Every structure is written in structure tokens, then in C-alpha cells.
């Protein structure tokens, strides 16, 4: 690590490695879509849970009204 490494944001993490679509049949592609849709739903639920947690924390640390 050089002294200048802090000047640049870390590279984005690649979470999925998409398959080569040319190698998949139509049935496999449709199954892949179903898998991706399931993953999208799981990620949306994770986002909702994190937002709810952040909102709860914000309410907890909110200064009392009138004070």
C-alpha cells in the first residue's frame, strides 16, 4: 500500500459472476431468471431491514421535543 492509496475509492466489489449465456439452453435461461428474481427479492428485503434499523436508531437518538 502506497501513501496515495487513500486518494482513490476502493474498487467496487463484483458480487455476481454472470454465466456465459450462449452456453445455456432456453430452459436454463428461464431458470436463471427465476433465480435472479428470487435474489432480487432477498436483496430488497435486506434493504428494507437495514432502512428500518436505521430509522429505529434515528428515533432512539433523536433529541427530546422541546428540549
pTM of the predicted model over 0.85: no
Name the residue with cell 435461461: 29
Q: Quote the pLDDT of residue 65.
A: 72
Q: Quote the pLDDT of residue 64.
A: 73
**Domain limits of the chain?**
21-67
pLDDT per residue over 23-65, tens digit each?
999 999 999 999 999 999 999 999 999 999 999 998 888 777 7
**Alpha carbon of 64 to those of 19, 33, 51, 53, 56: distances in Å?**
53, 48, 22, 20, 15
CB 32 within 8 A of CB 24: yes
Amino acid at each position: 500500500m502506497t501513501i496515495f492509496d487513500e486518494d482513490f475509492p476502493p474498487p467496487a466489489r463484483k458480487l455476481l459472476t454472470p454465466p456465459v449465456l450462449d452456453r445455456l439452453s432456453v430452459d436454463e435461461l428461464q431458470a436463471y431468471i427465476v433465480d435472479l428474481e428470487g435474489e432480487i427479492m432477498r436483496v430488497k428485503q435486506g434493504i428494507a431491514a437495514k432502512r428500518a434499523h436505521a430509522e429505529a436508531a434515528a428515533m432512539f437518538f433523536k433529541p427530546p421535543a422541546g428540549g
